[in-house]
DNA sequence: TTTTATTTTTAGACAAGTCTAAAAATTTTA
DNA sequence: TAAAATTTTTAGACTTGTCTAAAAATAAAA
């Protein structure tokens, strides 16, 4: 069964919304995510239900079937691998690649994405620090350790960001903080919860706003 | 002006047909190339004419405008660069990449293809030996020297193939002849125009059928 | 140069995906 | 728990790209 780009986008939207909203997703939520009208969503949902990709009862919201979920994860996998390609090989900045990956994720091929994965040497995270699902659709959500929770003297690697808005990404670039950056907590200021940290490029002060949006792995 | 994938495919079809057919192309030819019906072609042609991408007068055939030609060449450029990527980086065989490139050529981005070109280190030919147009849409069609025209004792590099059908590509693979292969003509048989040649992997006999379909550059 | 055959175009229809406007169901609130 | 507000669905329409069948134009043949 080959899906249209549009159908794939619906599945992906439901997948990411469902994760944050305990599985059942409303028509309006989807329409907001995809910039369409609720009535259009209803139409498409009914088609997807006919194909057994979503569970659907009128007025009761939508959730993915096992097949639907599998396809959605596959698309996420493609999206993230393409992002790695764009950043690591073509020298894009991590805040520039989303739109392009949005297109590339829909390229149809049995073999392409596995070959790409091998070429990229089996990355585990995309440039925003999100895990790349494996070939079988397995994805371990990592245990959300934020920089803000570290104690004085501890060191860590940046493995992801929570708020991946454009301004935030740009700001991190300015601070020269990237995926893989190593950070050591020098001191913490109880007054505003900011912290002084040591990075490869020197020591800088980081606000709570920032430190609570950076996923890290302790060293 | 952003074109749909379909519109781009029409321009590309007209471009490649026009090259072999002295510029004016008929509705039926296009419909054969794109696997559609002539009536569909007429419809689309009229839309393209409205957008000044083709010259069109009823019953008189179609040709590309300057803008149309430019866009067509751009797509060819994308197609060929993606083919290089697939073969050189992802280890595809040259006879497997056409369909995929057919999809990738439609990815929309201002910067992607130039970055890809740089990453590939500015290749001049695709895996089938066809020239890659430059950023400005310039393409020098090389002067069609075929292996069959070489004299005894001369050496050459394979730079392209004329008949890029699947069976032919597969056959060349079997002979271990690839782009860049070096071939020296040892002897020619006047009876059937076959030739005995020396390659990296030994000396083999090549029929006229083959030698007249290989573009080469003398050394 | 008429008649015949072929090619091209028009006309009307259909599928996918979207929209607006109005009706139906659900949820909120009083 | 009944009225009001919100959400969801239906109905009908529009666009893109396609099709078939028939009409119009061109090219070939007699």
d(CA A206, CA A171): 11
Region B97-112: mean pLDDT is 97
User: Looking at the domain assignment, is residue A72 inside a domain?
Assistant: no
* Residue B141 predicted with pLDDT over 60: no
- The distance of A128 to chain B (nearest Cα, Å) reads 19
Lowest mean pLDDT segment, chosen from A99-108, A125-134, B100-109: A125-134
Q: What is the mean pLDDT of chain A?
A: 90
Q: How far is CA A37 from CA A5, A28, A53, B40, in A?
A: 18, 8, 21, 31
* Tokens found for residue B99: 């369909």
Lowest mean pLDDT segment, chosen from A2-6, A50-54, B22-26, B182-186: B22-26
pTM of the model: 0.75
Residue A194 CA neighbour count, 13 Å, CB half: 7
* Tokens found for residue A56: 């659907």
Domain edge (last residue) among A64, A86, A103: A64
What residue has its CA nearest to the C1' of D10? A39
A38 strand D contact, CB < 7 Å = yes
A37 strand C contact, CB < 7 Å = yes
User: Looking at the domain assignment, is residue B184 inside a domain?
Assistant: yes
d(CA A72, CA A37): 22
- The SS3 call for residue A202 is strand
The reply to whether residue B107 touches residue A100, judged by beta carbons under 8 angstroms, is yes
Return the ∠ at Cα B152 (arms to B148 and B156), rounded to 5°. 60
Q: What is the pLDDT of residues A69-79, one digit of tens each?
A: 999 999 999 99
If you measure CA to CA, which chain A residue comes closest to B85? Answer: A116
A39 strand D contact, CB < 7 Å = yes
Probe site for chain B from A82, A84, A115, A118 (most B CB atoms < 10 A): A115
User: Looking at the domain assignment, is residue A98 inside a domain?
Assistant: no
Region A124-143: mean pLDDT is 81
Determine the pLDDT at residue B143: 58
Determine the pLDDT at residue B20: 63
User: Looking at the domain assignment, is residue B115 inside a domain?
Assistant: no
* Residue B51 predicted with pLDDT over 60: yes
More confident residue, A19 or A206: A206
DSSP 8-state code for residue A35? T
Determine the pLDDT at residue B161: 81
- The SS3 call for residue B128 is coil
Determine the pLDDT at residue A138: 83
The reply to whether residue B112 touches residue A119, judged by beta carbons under 8 angstroms, is no
User: Looking at the domain assignment, is residue A91 inside a domain?
Assistant: no
Contact A43, A88 (CB under 8 A): no
* Residue B34 predicted with pLDDT over 80: yes
Region B51-70: mean pLDDT is 96
Q: CA A77 → C1' D8, Å?
A: 32
User: Looking at the domain assignment, is residue B16 inside a domain?
Assistant: yes
Region B54-78: mean pLDDT is 96
Determine the pLDDT at residue A192: 86
Residue A35's domain comprises: 5-64
Region B127-143: mean pLDDT is 80
The yes/no answer to whether this complex scores an ipTM above 0.90 is no
In the block, tokens 């020197």 appear at A202
Beta-sheet strands, E only, within chain A: 54-56, 62-64, 155-161, 182-188, 195-199, 202-206, 214-218
d(CA B44, CA B33): 14
Q: Please report, for the domain that includes residue B202, its CATH number.
A: 2.30.30.90
- Give the closest nucleotide to B35 (alpha carbon vs C1'): D18
Region B161-187: mean pLDDT is 84
- The distance of A31 to chain B (nearest Cα, Å) reads 24
Closest CA to B86 of B131, B110, B119, B134: B119
User: Looking at the domain assignment, is residue B26 inside a domain?
Assistant: yes
Which residue blocks in chain B are alpha helix, DSSP H? 5-20, 27-34, 38-50, 66-84, 98-104, 112-119, 166-175, 208-211
d(CA A42, CA B41): 34
pLDDT band of A151, cuts 50, 70, 90: confident
User: Looking at the domain assignment, is residue B134 inside a domain?
Assistant: no
- Give the closest nucleotide to B37 (alpha carbon vs C1'): D19
Determine the pLDDT at residue A161: 82
Read out DSSP for A86-104?
A: IIIIT---TTS-HHHHHHH
Determine the pLDDT at residue B144: 60
Count of domains in chain B?
Answer: 2
d(CA B125, CA B136): 16
Q: How far is CA B5 from CA A102, B27, B105, in A?
A: 16, 19, 9
Q: What is the pLDDT of residues A29-60, one digit of tens each?
A: 999 999 999 999 999 999 999 999 999 999 99
Q: What is the pLDDT of residues A169-195, one digit of tens each?
A: 888 888 888 877 889 999 988 888 889
Determine the pLDDT at residue A20: 63
Q: What torsion do the CA atoms of A203, A205, A208, A214 make, to the nearest 10 degrees? A: -30
Q: Please report, for the domain that includes residue B30, its CATH number.
A: 1.10.10.10
Question: Percent of chain A scored above 90 by pLDDT?
Answer: 58
Helices A112-119, A66-84: axis angle to 10 degrees equals 40
Domain edge (last residue) among A64, A89, A113: A64
């Amino acid at each position: 069964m080959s899906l249209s780009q549009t159908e794939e986008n619906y599945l992906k939207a439901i997948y990411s919304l469902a994760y944050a909203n305990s599985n059942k997703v409303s028509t309006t939520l989807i329409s907001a995510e995809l910039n369409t009208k609720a009535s259009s969503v209803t139409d498409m949902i009914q088609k997807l239900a006919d194909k057994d990709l979503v569970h659907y009862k009128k007025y009761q919201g939508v959730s993915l079937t096992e097949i639907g979920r599998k396809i959605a994860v596959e698309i996420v996998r493609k999206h993230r691998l393409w992002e790695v390609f764009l950043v690591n090989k073509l020298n894009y900045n991590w805040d520039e690649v989303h739109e392009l990956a949005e297109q590339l994720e829909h390229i149809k091929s049995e073999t392409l994405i596995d070959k790409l994965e091998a070429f990229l040497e089996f990355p585990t995270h995309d440039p925003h620090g999100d895990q790349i699902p494996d070939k079988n659709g397995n994805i371990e959500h990592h245990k959300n350790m934020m920089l803000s929770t570290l104690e004085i003297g501890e060191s860590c690697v940046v493995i992801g960001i929570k708020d991946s808005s454009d301004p935030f990404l740009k700001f991190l670039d300015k601070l020269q903080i990237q995926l893989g950056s190593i950070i050591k907590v020098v001191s913490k200021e109880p007054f505003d919860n900011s912290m002084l940290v040591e990075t490869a490029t020197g020591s800088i002060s980081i606000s709570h706003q920032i430190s609570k949006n950076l996923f890290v792995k302790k060293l």
